[in-house]
Amino acid sequence: MSLVHLTINGENKSVEVPPMKRLLDVLREDLHLTGTKEGCGEGECGACAVLLNGELVNSCLIPALQANGTSLCTIEGVSTEGHLHPIQQCFLEKGGAQCGICTPGMILATQHLLNKYPNPTMEQIQEGLAGNLCRCTGYMRIFESVQEAAKLQNAGAGA
Amino acid sequence: MPQRNAILGASPIRKEGRAKVLGAAQYTDDLALPDMWHGATVRSTVARGYIRNITFAHEVNWDEFCIVRASDIPGKNVIVHLMQDHPCLANGYVNHPDEPILLIAHPEKAALLRALKNIHIDYDELPGVFTIEESEAAVKALVEKNDDSRIIWPTPKADYEGGPNCFKTYEMYSGDAEKTETGLEAAFETADFIVEGEYATGAQEQLYIENNGVIAECFYTQQGEVESVCVRGSMQCPFYLVHALTLVFGLPDDKCRVIQVETGGAFGGKEDFPSVIGSHAALLAMKSKHPVKIIYDRAEDMAGTTKRHPSRTRHRTAVRKDGTLLGGTIEVTLDGGAYATLSSTVLSRATIHASGPYKWPHLRVRSKAMATNLPPHGAFRGFGAPQSLFGVERHMDRIAHTLGLTPEEVRRKNFLGTGDTTATGQPLVDKVDMQHMLTRALNEAGYHEKVARFAEENKHSLIKRGVGFAAFMHGTGFTGSGERRLNSLVYLDVLEDGLPQILVSSTEFGQGTNTILSQVAAQTLNLPYEDIRLAQPDTSVVPNSGPTVASRTAMIVGKLVERASLQMLETLRLQVHLPADHTREEFIAAAKAYRAQYGTLRASARYEPPAPIFWDDEKYRGDAYPGYAWAVYVAEVAVDMRTYMATCTRFDALQEVGKVMHPVLAKGQVEGGVAQGIGYALYEKCVWKDGHLANNQMTNYIMPTSADLPPIHVHFEEVPSIHGPMGAKGIGELPMDGPAPAIMNAIENATGISFCTIPLLPEDIFERVQSLGHPHGGTEDLDPSVDRDTRVEEVSA
Ligand code: FES
Ligand code: FES
């Protein structure tokens, strides 16, 4: 067992877990943050994506010990006190979420993308989300959600 | 002022959408019950054989585990679908790889993996059959040489009487059988051309991103007997699982409770399969006396659960040189896998859709579903229609090329229209205008301009571009008398706050059930959309509104919600004087007044077949579906002759689905279906090794990513239907039917090579180009010695 310190969505947490336990399971089982989903367990689908020190990672591939001392953002940390983040609002309005199982990972991937490119081109969106599989939407509504969110954020920043 | 809201046709936000974008929606794996154990499945490692011996290695303390064998099953060892041939747990004999043999449970999930590795099973292996052709050859060997060594079904322990290696056959004629045969004979004799073709499609994994999972509980009487079971999980059809549990446990319906929880995609993959995993978890719960959760991991889900049926379709068509169809025979064969499951109904839909949206003066369709030692194939969006429509839509292009006509000309000659009769003899009473649909779809896609331009550009380029299209229809609801048998029921309650709640067993798994049913109720009751709630699909609470399959929810269940809403209004108007053109406040006041006076308020509506509906299950004739959705899809492709990579570069999807209830959801349905169709055509290949799926990972089974898909343009033609609520029809499956043939037609337009088998991967293109000796494509000779897939004969004119 190892003691692992994490900053999760701004809060400091310590958990005692086997060092090789997947970060995904630490989040879901030890910290009861079930918004992070498992789709494949092998780094292909992005359902388990979280932001680790601002980088988009698949939490199913990261051993707990490797995450020690990092700062994490999960889907639970995207909204503030029940207020939807603009990205969430756009996914909701534009049909970016159907069954919803890919949505948490997709929203974090979008956040990462928009941090990098506040005004992404279509290619940048397609590439930026290529690590997140969605079987329901065919991605078109997701692209629209991302474009709309970019517009909203830029308008907000300019105001 | 009374509010007149236009809710249907607007795009209110998805009912459960907020929870989903917050990550707060609770899927099966997000739930836990007190003292819950975890379950796992021990599966066969061979395709076919007798189980000789099972050993439990000493390294594991088996006392900590609960182990369930076939002999522990209190009721019948069967997973009931349409037949009872499918064992819940293999009992001495296995018929496919990954077949469940034992179940184990332990309080710690982590302990299961090690335990699984320490159970060893020995088999006396038997030879298997793994393709349609091998299964047919086995039947031939039986007939000709009395060799039954590869007759794999009915299996030794099954009580079902069926043909050897064949689950089901149909024979469908466009008219009286004898007269049609005579007509066909004459048609083939007088035809200018006889065109033949063979078209094949592969298995396809549903690949919902949430794997199958359930949590089961078992309750006991004071005497320690099983009193009832309860299963929660990811599924489409809670009442299917109830039915399965009643047999496995020998319990009445009301002692088998099933609750659907948030479901992360299904596409048919959670129609029949939850009966298996749900029964398994309930057996473990019974024996361990703990709630038991089973969640498959991706590899197990892909290897052990159902896929789309592989198929082979053969066409032989008599045509006049102007393109008019004179007659045809079609043979559709599906690979059903090791047990019958839903194969007969998938085959039924494949049979009826095999003729496409065309007039056939004389047509015979023969179809069969063969048994193989693959895991049973099951439901997947489209349910047989994508397979047989692939055949007919590729074949129409073949006919055009043979006759020297354009694909457009051949179709225009033969399209069904209003007042025509379909191949099953169903008169098309509702308006159908495929001529206009085709014109519009081709215009939206810029088809004609592209055909001309690409032909020029391709001459000087190693990237060959092309456009192609498919015209098709999809029947909404259950086939034939199916809806009558389902006899669906919905309830609409008014709760304490004076606002309504819909009670249905129809489930939400991303398609938008919750949202559209709420829209129908809100519109009919003249209440805001936000006021409508839905009860969780819990079979102890909701009535059976039928399974959530077959594109039936919007049209059939939607209509029932509309009728229940109207009934509720009538009750309120009659009993408590709700004024006509009421406001929300007036509705609430009236509903509360009613409750105060009479207690609860519940309206209900049961399915009533549209008056003159006729279906003959024996002869396969009559009104096959209450309604059809119609479509023309246009694909644009680029084939790189250096890498042999074919890519879809633009897609236009035009459909007529009646009134569009929710434009955003409807577009999402079409785009999602088109994406799956593009995957079906160009990416998703199941690699079988002795019946085991060898590429059972997302790493090597490739579905389209956001970087792989072209822009998908969705267009609607709105012709309100009389069958659905406010004119709506079904939409869910239609988009799966068109992409594959449209893309293959486009690839032929680009390269001059006719590909008739999907999926088509770069290695397939490479191989074909090599065998043709046309390194850079070009015009393919239609000479039968060159084209190995098909044969075209020209009959002396
Ligand atoms: S679960 Fe981590 S990438 Fe799929
Ligand atoms: S919304 Fe279902 S997988 Fe993306």
Give every CB contact of residue B140 below 8 A, 6+ residues apart in sequence.
none
Contact predicate B527/B500, CB 8 Å:
yes
- Residue closest via CA to ligand 2's atom 2 equals A99
pLDDT exceeds 60 at position A63: yes
What is the three-class DSSP state of B259? strand
CA–chain centroid gap for B335, Å, is 15
Residue among B628, B627, B632, B678 nearest B655 (CA): B632
Q: How far apart are CA B86 and CA B280, in angstroms?
A: 13
The pLDDT, as a whole number, for residue B614 is 82
pLDDT digits (tens, 9 = 90+) for B721-730: 888 888 888 8
> Using CA atoms, how far apart are residues B465 and B646, in angstroms rounded to an integer?
9
Q: Is the dihedral of CA B519, B522, B528, B529 positive or negative?
A: negative
Tokens in use for B199? 């078209």
How far, in Å, CA of B584 to CA of B164, rounded? Answer: 63
Distance between CA atoms of residues B763 and B744, nearest Å: 15
| HEC per residue, B725-792 | HHHECCCCCHHHHCHHHHHHHHHHHHHCCCCCEECCCHHHHHHHHHHHCCCCCCCCCCCCCCCCCCCE
- Amino acid B618: pLDDT: 83
For A33, other C-beta atoms within 10 Å of its C-beta total 21
| Centroid of ligand 1 to alpha carbon of B702 (angstroms) | 15
Task: Provide the H-helix boundaries in B459-583.
Answer: 482-486, 513-525, 558-576
Determine which helix (DSSP H) or strand (DSSP E) holds B456, and give its type and residue range: helix B447-458
Q: Which structure tokens are listed for B493? A: 């309650």
Is the pLDDT at B737 greater than 60? The verdict is yes
Report helix, strand or coil for B159: coil
Sort out which chain A residues have CB atoms less than 8 A from B298's CB and list them.
39-42
- CATH fold, domain B17-25+488-606, is Aldehyde Oxidoreductase; domain 4 (3.30.365)
pLDDT at A23 over 50: yes
Task: Give residue B117's identity as a one-letter amino acid code.
Answer: K
Please list, in sequence order, all residues whose beta carbon lies within 8 angstroms of the beta carbon of residue B5, skipping any fewer than 6 positions away. B522, B523, B526, B527, B528, B529
What is the per-residue pLDDT across B663-718, written as a single tens digit (0 to 9) for each?
A: 999 999 999 999 999 999 999 999 999 999 999 999 999 999 999 999 999 999 99
Q: Which DSSP state fits B51?
A: E
Residue in A75, A88, A136 nearest the CB of B265 = A136
Q: Which of B502, B503, B506, B542 is nearest to B518 (CA)?
A: B502
Confidence (pTM): 0.96
Q: Is B559 helix (H, G, I), strand (E, B) or coil?
A: helix
ipTM higher than 0.90? Answer: yes
Cβ neighbours of residue B439 closer than 8 Å, sequence gap 6 or more: none
Distance from CA of A78 to the nearest CA of B (A): 8
What's the CA-to-centroid distance between B784 and ligand 1, angstroms?
Answer: 48
Contact B499, B489 (CB under 8 A): no
pLDDT tens by residue, B520-557:
999 999 999 999 999 999 999 999 999 998 889 999 99
Burial of B25 (0-12, 13-18, 19+ CB in 10 A): buried
So what's the pLDDT on residue B160? Answer: 56
Question: Hey, what are B486's tokens?
Answer: 């389902």
The reply to whether residue B667 touches residue A140, judged by beta carbons under 8 angstroms, is yes
CB contact under 8 Å between A41 and B672, yes or no, is no
SS3 per residue for B320-367: CCCCCEEEEEEEEEEECCCCCCCHHHHHHHHHHHCCCCECCCCEEEEE
Residue B636 has pLDDT above 90, yes or no: yes
Distances B129 to A119, B332, B574 between C-alpha atoms, Å: 55, 19, 66
Identify the CATH assignment for B405-479+623-792 out of 3.40.50.1700, 3.30.365.10, 1.10.3720.10, 2.30.30.60: 3.30.365.10
Banded model confidence at residue B1, pLDDT cuts 50, 70, 90: very low
Phi, psi dihedrals of residue B307, rounded to the nearest 5°: -130, 175
Are A39 and B267 inside 8 Å of each other by CB?
no
What are the structure tokens assigned to B293, written together? 């959760």
Bond before B759 cis per omega within 30 degrees: yes
CB atoms within 10 A of CB A148: 18
Q: Do A36 and B706 touch (CB under 8 A)?
A: no
Please tell me the predicted confidence (pLDDT) of residue A81: 87
B745 pLDDT exceeds 90? yes
Q: How confident is the model at residue B184 (pLDDT cuts 50, 70, 90)?
A: very high
Alpha carbon of residue B712 to chain centroid:
22
Query: At A9, which amino acid appears?
Result: N
Q: Is the per-residue pLDDT at B331 higher than 90?
A: yes
What value, to the nearest 5°, has the Cα angle with vertex B142 and ends B137 and B148?
100
Dihedral sign (CA B314, B317, B322, B326): negative
Give pLDDT, residue B480. 84
Instruction: In whole angstroms, give the CA distance from residue B345 to residue B354.
Output: 14
- For residue B556, the 8-state DSSP code is I
- According to DSSP, the β-strands at B311-319 and B193-201 are antiparallel
Ligand 2 touching residue A134 (CB < 6 A): yes
For the CA of B263, the nearest ligand: 2
Q: Which residues in chain A have their CB less than 8 angstroms from residue B732's CB?
A: none
Q: Which domains can be identified in chain A, with CATH numbers?
A: 2-77 (3.10.20.30), 86-158 (1.10.150.120)
What are the chain B neighbours of A113 within 8 Å (beta carbons)? none
Nearest CA to ligand 2 atom 4: A134
Q: Which of B431, B430, B422, B432 is nearest to B480 (CA)?
A: B422
**Residue contact B21–A76, C-beta within 8 A:** no
Cα(B394)–Cα(B416) distance, integer angstroms: 18
Rounded to an integer, the average pLDDT of B284-303 is: 98
Q: pLDDT tens, B106-140?
A: 999 999 999 999 999 999 999 999 999 999 999 99
Strands B692-693 and B688-689: antiparallel
Of B24, B266, B698, the CB nearest to A35: B24
According to CATH, the topology of domain B33-126+215-304 is Aldehyde Oxidoreductase; domain 3 (3.90.1170)
Q: Tell me the residue length of chain B.
A: 797
B786 pLDDT above the threshold of 50: no
Q: What is the mean pLDDT of residues A130-158?
A: 94
Read off the pLDDT band of B609 (50, 70, 90).
confident
Q: Which atom of ligand 2 is nearest to the CA of A100?
A: 1
Q: Count Cα atoms within 13 angstroms, Cβ side, for B109.
A: 12
Average pLDDT over residues B211-230: 97
Per-residue pLDDT tens digits for B385-420: 999 999 999 999 999 999 999 999 999 999 999 999
The residue in chain B having the minimum alpha-carbon distance to the alpha carbon of residue A32 is B30
Output the six-digit token pair for A152.
């909203």
Banded pLDDT at B788 (limits 50, 70, 90): very low
pLDDT at B784 over 50: no
Name the helix (H) or strand (E) containing A2.
strand A2-8
**Shortest alpha-carbon distance between residue A5 and chain B (Å):** 23
CB B378 within 8 A of CB B347: no
CA of A31 to the centre of ligand 2 (A): 24
DSSP state of B662: -
pLDDT at res. B236: 97
Q: Quick one: pLDDT at residue B355?
A: 98
Q: What is the CA radius of gyration of chain B?
A: 27
pLDDT at B215 over 90: yes
Least CB-CB distance to A137: which of B17, B24, B671? B671
DSSP B498: S
- % of chain B surpassing 90 pLDDT: 88
Check residue B776 and give its pLDDT. 46
Residue among A34, A45, A92 whose CB faces B21 most closely: A92
Instruction: Suggest the residue from B209, B261, B661, B671 to mutate for an interface test with chain A (most A CBs closer than 10 A).
Output: B209
Question: What order do you get walking across the sheet with B49-56 strand by strand?
Answer: B93-94, B49-56, B119-125
| CA–CA dist B455, B749 (Å, integer) | 9
Cβ atoms of B676 and A112 within 8 Å: the answer is no
What secondary structure letter does DSSP report for B392?
H
Q: Do A136 and B510 touch (CB under 8 A)?
A: yes
pLDDT digits (tens, 9 = 90+) for B340-389: 999 999 999 999 999 999 999 999 999 999 999 999 999 999 999 999 99
Written as six digits, the tokens of B284 are: 């473990």
Interface touch B668/A45, C-beta < 8 Å = no
Residue linked to tokens 């519940």: B602
Task: Note whether B379 and B549 are within 8 A (CB).
Answer: yes
Cβ of B709 within 8 Å of Cβ of A138? The answer is yes
Note the ligand closest to the C-alpha atom of A48.
Answer: 1
Using 50, 70 and 90 to split pLDDT, how confident is the model at B617?
Answer: confident
H or E element in which residue B472 lies: strand B463-476
Same CATH fold assignment for domains B17-25+488-606 and B405-479+623-792: yes
Task: Give the mutation candidate from B15, B18, B22 for the A interface (greatest A CB count, under 10 A).
Answer: B22
Name residues contacting ligand 1 (CB within 6 A).
A 38-41, 43-48, 58, 60
CA dist B740 and B760 (Å) reads: 10
Query: Residue B635 forms beta bridges with which residues?
Result: B468, B651
CB contact under 8 A, A98 and B711: no
- Give domain limits for chain B: 17-25+488-606, 33-126+215-304, 405-479+623-792
Confidence of residue B4 (pLDDT cuts 50, 70, 90): low
**Ligand nearest B676 Cα, by number?**
2
Structure tokens at B537: 């699909």
Burial class (CB in 10 A: 0-12, 13-18, 19+), A14: exposed
Distance CA B709, CA A1 (A): 45
DSSP single-letter state for residue A98: S
Separation CA B4–CA B524 (nearest Å) = 10
Mean pLDDT of chain B: 94
pLDDT tens, position by position, A90-128: 999 999 999 999 999 999 999 999 999 999 999 999 999
* pLDDT band at B158; cut points 50, 70, 90: low
Q: Say how far apart CA B156 and CA B124 lie, in whole Å.
A: 14
Residue B780 has pLDDT above 50, yes or no: no
Which of residues B8 and B103 earns the better pLDDT score?
B103
Q: Which residues lie across from B332 on neighbouring strands?
A: B313, B367
Our CA dihedral for A137, A141, A143, A149, rounded to 10 degrees, sits at -130
Chain B closest-CA separation from residue A118 CA (Å): 19
Which residues of chain B does A41 touch, with a Cβ-Cβ cutoff of 8 Å? 297-298
Of B264, B665, B705, the CB nearest to A101: B264
Ligand nearest to the CA of A100: 2
Closest-CA residue to B105 (of B305, B304, B283): B283
Nearest to B547 by CA among B516, B510, B506, B492: B506
In this predicted structure, what is the pLDDT of residue B720? 87
Tokens coding A41: 């367990």
